Amino acid sequence: MFCRLDIRRFCGLLSLLLVLLITTGAWAQANELVLHFIDVGQGDSILIQTPAGASILIDAGDTRAGTQTVVPYLRKMGIKSLDMVVLTHPHFDHVGGLIPVLEEYPVDQVLADGQIHTTQAYEDLLGLIYEKGISFKLARAGDELDIPGLDKVVVLNPQEPFLPGLNNNSVVLELHHGTIAVLLAGDIEAAAEERILAEGYLSEAQILKAAHHGSKTSSTRVFLRKVKPAIGVVSVGAGNRYGLPDKKVIETMNKAGIEVLRTDLLGTIIVVSDGSSYRVVDQEELLSGKPQSKERDTSVSSTKLVNVNTAAHEQLMQLPGIGDVLARRIIEAREAAAFQKPEDLLRVAGIGPKRLEKLVSLITF
């Protein structure tokens, strides 16, 4: 009798647990921070899920991306409401998609740059925020935000008086989770980078969302040298009409040993951190809810597969038979079209079947 009751109770608990796992999107582990750099084509949209369960959305691409990509993505991730929405600056490729987001999701607070911009779309967005009675706060350099689950969140930009150009006054945030730091640079250009450096609040960050879609207006050497990122995420549309990202910026990042992850080549990029390390995961892995055991992490890192679509120049040169010239050619070829399978490397002049054979077990895509 008791035994049966216990089993029933156990089953009840088990199904409750399962429901919880499903409804919370089953992402990662309790102490983990999840950063989603959503592929919105040409534009930016970043979803942040903190270890305490807070959800923050920074920009949402243009209106079409908002409706067709961002809202469905938030649904897929099991988001029910947003604790904060950040408007980095009023350009359409960043804030256009926020209207469909605000129409669908309850939002606690909007954090914005506060620049004046008189396009209809931007005025409609501000009107909707007002209509819904959402608290509206301006971000200013030096502010610290209290976001549950993160140790520290610092606003590095904008600062008054504003710099010339809407991009330079983008909201820039630096997030700290344990020893891991993330720098989200909006669309700032060299002038804002210089001012941020002069202010002295900037820390080193392992993960950088590169400014302004990898444009040559931004990511100055001196700025990158200070941030020292290991990963540089470039949010950019495939075949965009601006020719972004700039080849030289990517080259500079590669030379600095930064692993470049581009949304035009890889789609949505997800980075998970437990506060002392981080890893790039795919959507299926995240949604499967499988515990990301330490064993699994070690097995991945011990094989040290080189991703030929993202590896820096130096990493490519560690592969057998790949020197400076071939590493460069691989980078050029993947910029034209991402490699999908080993045979695609045969597109690179100088890589024939024999060389490829030696690479096959050491590379990934």
- Taking the complex as a whole, the smallest distance from the CB of residue 263 to Zn ion amounts, in Å, to 13
- Taking the complex as a whole, the smallest distance from the CB of residue 107 to Zn ion amounts, in Å, to 22
Q: Which is nearer to Zn ion, 83 or 93 (CB)?
A: 93
Contacts of 205 (CB under 8 A, 6+ apart): 174, 181, 182, 183, 227, 228, 229
Instruction: Check: CB of residue 27 under 8 Å from CB of residue 77.
Output: yes
Q: Which is nearer to Zn ion, 100 or 214 (CB)?
A: 214
**Which stretches of the chain bind Zn ion, using CB under 5 A?**
93, 187
Q: What is the DSSP string of 215-232?
A: -TTS--HHHHHHH--SEE
């002295």: which residue's tokens? Answer: 200
Structure tokens at 60: 């949402």
- Taking the complex as a whole, the smallest distance from the CB of residue 221 to Zn ion amounts, in Å, to 22
Q: Which is nearer to Zn ion, 39 or 93 (CB)?
A: 93
- Taking the complex as a whole, the smallest distance from the CB of residue 189 to Zn ion amounts, in Å, to 11
Q: Which is nearer to Zn ion, 235 or 310 (CB)?
A: 235
- Taking the complex as a whole, the smallest distance from the CB of residue 62 to Zn ion amounts, in Å, to 10
Instruction: Check: CB of residue 226 under 8 Å from CB of residue 250.
Output: no
Closest CA to 235 of 269, 270, 271, 263: 263
Instruction: Check: CB of residue 172 under 8 Å from CB of residue 86.
Output: no
- Taking the complex as a whole, the smallest distance from the CB of residue 86 to Zn ion amounts, in Å, to 14
Burial degree of 224 (CB within 10 A; 0-12, 13-18, 19+): buried
Q: Which is nearer to Zn ion, 218 or 292 (CB)?
A: 218
Q: Which is nearer to Zn ion, 36 or 91 (CB)?
A: 91
Q: Which is nearer to Zn ion, 93 or 174 (CB)?
A: 93
Q: Is 234 helix (H, G, I), strand (E, B) or coil?
A: strand
Q: Which is nearer to Zn ion, 92 or 365 (CB)?
A: 92
Give, as one character, the DSSP assignment of residue 67.
Answer: I
- Taking the complex as a whole, the smallest distance from the CB of residue 104 to Zn ion amounts, in Å, to 23
